[in-house]
Each structure stands twice: as structure tokens, then as C-alpha cells.
Amino acid sequence: MTKTNLKTMAMCIIAVAGLFACKPNNVPEEPKYEYDVYVAGGEGEFGKRIAILWKNGEATKLSDGKENAEAWCVYVLGSDVYVSGWEGKKAKLWKNGEATEFTDGKNDAAAYSVFVSGSDVYVAGWEGNKAILWKNGEATALTNGNNNARAYSVYVLGSDVYTAGYEKKEGKNVAMLWKNGEATTLTDGKENARAYSVYVSGSDVYAAGYEAKAGNYVAKLWKNGKATELTDGKNDAAAYSVFVSESDVYVTGYEYNGSNNVAKTWKNGEATKIGDGKEHARAYSVYVAGSDLYTAGYENNGSKEVAKIWKNGKATELTNGKEHATASSVYVVRREAGK
């Protein structure tokens, strides 16, 4: 047999072996994923609250109960879990359960929102009358303190830092958005208004909040400064959180139905009721992971507020209802199963 024929046979054998090696039962399996659900909030009678972080329903106390405390926001990056809130009069940030005080307690203060970008940690809140943005613990006042003001939410995209809140001007609370410290008014100051949440997607900047109209609060969503009313103003309502997933815009909050506050989610402006509306309820935070929609808040059980997380509208109770409790923020992390 010639060398050429031997070479041809060898190549055929390799090709056939390759075909068998590529049979479907040898194809690597797609990785399976699990989701960790983090929730920040508080439990206890008012004035004696304990700041709490729940991970997949398991509670960890962040404060010892000696002073009134609350956890307002949770953010997860890698193996680090950040929670912003307050204890006593001090604004605080907990990283993996270890607390850092941002203020000295001489004035009332709170840290409402935390966002991590690279190695930088941004926190929005207030001290005294001033709306404050902290970067790695260093405070920048967004307002001069002449008027009452609050910063409720912070979002970072690239080198731009966005903060939402309000400042009182001429007797009315004006919904505000700050970009890199420069203020933009979202409302004209004729009626009371607040912006509770900011989210940036591409070149679009979204803010959620409320503005009073004819004596009632109207839940509102602002996109690049242009307002959309989510409710008709017949009853009080507010939007507390906004989240953008691909082309869909999710907002969560509440609307009064004449008897109770009803927790609601709006998807692209269309409202969905959370719960049956028979007891007071509010949803404070919304997060989308894959095809699942998570909201966090509370629902009254007839005598106490029960902290709850809803996944696609199905409720899970985080507390037993013996004491008042609220879930203020939800953050969801996807990871490979078993890791």
C-alpha cells in the first residue's frame, strides 16, 4: 500500500472518530443558574426598629436594637453586600455586616440609597436640612441647607452620577434630579412633589415619585425630564422605585382605593395590583432578573405590617406579623448552581 493511501486512510479514521466524538450525549451541558434574593428593611415597633438584611428569606440583624434603626437599600457586587440606612441619628453603611458611620450624630441623618461602581461606593441621603451624596465616605452637599432637602436615590453610569430627591422652595417640595451635582427641577414648585428613585438606561434618565394635584398625590414617572402620570389623581398614590429591563420600564408604589393603600406595579404604564387590596400595602422596590419580576414592601395583616417579597405577584412573608416590619429594597444576583 502506498504512503498516499495510508495517509488517506488515517485521515478518514480521524474524521470518523471526530463524528462519534461529537454525538449529542457528549455535548457539554449548559450551566444551570440559581438566584440569590437580597432584601433590606426593618422590624420592630416604631421607635424600636432593628435594621435587617434578608438573603433568600433568612434574616440577619444589622443593628442590636439599642437605637432605632432601618435598612433602606441593598446593593451586591461580587461577594460584597452593601446596605445603607440609619441607626439613631447617624447615617450608616454596612458592608458584609460591618457598619461605617457617615455622620457624627449631632444632626439627624439617613443613608437612603447605595450604588457601587468599580471600587467607588456612592450613597445618597441627608444630614440636617441638606441633601447629601457620599463617595467612599466623603460627603458632598447637594443643597446649601437653607431649605429642607433629601436625596433618596443614586445611580452611576460611566463617569456620571445621578441623584434623585427633593428640595423645599417657597413652601413647596420640588422634585429634583442632580447630575454630577448640578440640579434640575422636575416640577415647577406649584404643588408638593418628590422624586424617590432614579435609573439610567443608555441615554435615558428615569425618575419615579409623585406630585400633588387637586389635593391628592399622583404617581409619576419622568423620562428625560418629561412627566407621565401613572394614576388619575382621584386617590393618593406614589411611585417609589423604577427599573428598566431591555425596552420595558417597571415602576412600583401604591394607590389608595378608597379604603386601603394598594401595592402596585406599572409595566410601561400599565398597572397591576399586588395583593387583594383588602389590607393596607405598599411596594417600595422593584427588580427584574431574567423573566422574573421581584417587588419588596409590606402588607398589613389586620394589626401589623408584614414585610413581604413578591415574585411575579406571588407573595412570600419575610416576618411573622408579630411586630411591624417593612421590606424597603430588593436586589437579585444570578449565579451558577452549586457555586
Q: What does 128-181 look like in DSSP terms, one character per residue?
A: TTEEEEEETTEEEESS-SSS-EEEEEEEEETTEEEEEEEEEETTEEEEEEEETT
pLDDT string in tens for the chain (339-residue length): 444 443 333 333 333 333 233 334 556 677 788 999 999 999 999 889 999 999 999 999 999 999 999 999 999 999 999 999 999 999 999 999 999 999 999 999 999 999 999 999 999 999 999 999 999 999 999 999 999 999 999 999 999 999 999 999 999 999 999 999 999 999 999 999 999 999 999 999 999 999 999 999 999 999 999 999 999 999 999 999 999 999 999 999 999 999 999 999 999 999 999 999 999 999 999 999 999 999 999 999 999 999 999 999 999 999 999 999 999 999 999 998 876
Q: What is the pLDDT of residue 231?
A: 99
- pTM, two decimals, is 0.91
Cβ atoms 318, 311 nearer than 8 A: no
Query: 3-state DSSP call for residue 13?
Result: helix
CATH assignment of the domain containing 100? 2.130.10.10
Which residues span the domain enclosing 48?
A: 30-336
Q: What is the pLDDT of residue 23?
A: 39
CA distance linking residue 325 with residue 319, whole number of Å:
7
Q: What is the pLDDT of residue 26?
A: 59
Q: What is the pLDDT of residue 5?
A: 44
Give domain status of residue 97, yes or no. Answer: yes
Give domain status of residue 10, yes or no. Answer: no
140 contacts: CB under 8 Å, gap ≥ 6: 132, 133, 134, 181
Give domain status of residue 332, yes or no. Answer: yes
Cβ atoms 328, 284 nearer than 8 A: yes
Q: What is the pLDDT of residue 323?
A: 97
Among candidate residues 76, 24, 29, 81, the one with its CA nearest the CA of residue 338 = 29
Query: 3-state DSSP call for residue 15?
Result: helix
Question: Between the CA of residue 192 and those of 166, 188, 234, what are the distances in Å?
Answer: 10, 9, 16
Give domain status of residue 124, yes or no. Answer: yes
Give domain status of residue 295, yes or no. Answer: yes
Give domain status of residue 13, yes or no. Answer: no
Cβ atoms 109, 102 nearer than 8 A: yes
Q: How many domains does the chain have?
A: 1
Give domain status of residue 252, yes or no. Answer: yes
Give domain status of residue 25, yes or no. Answer: no
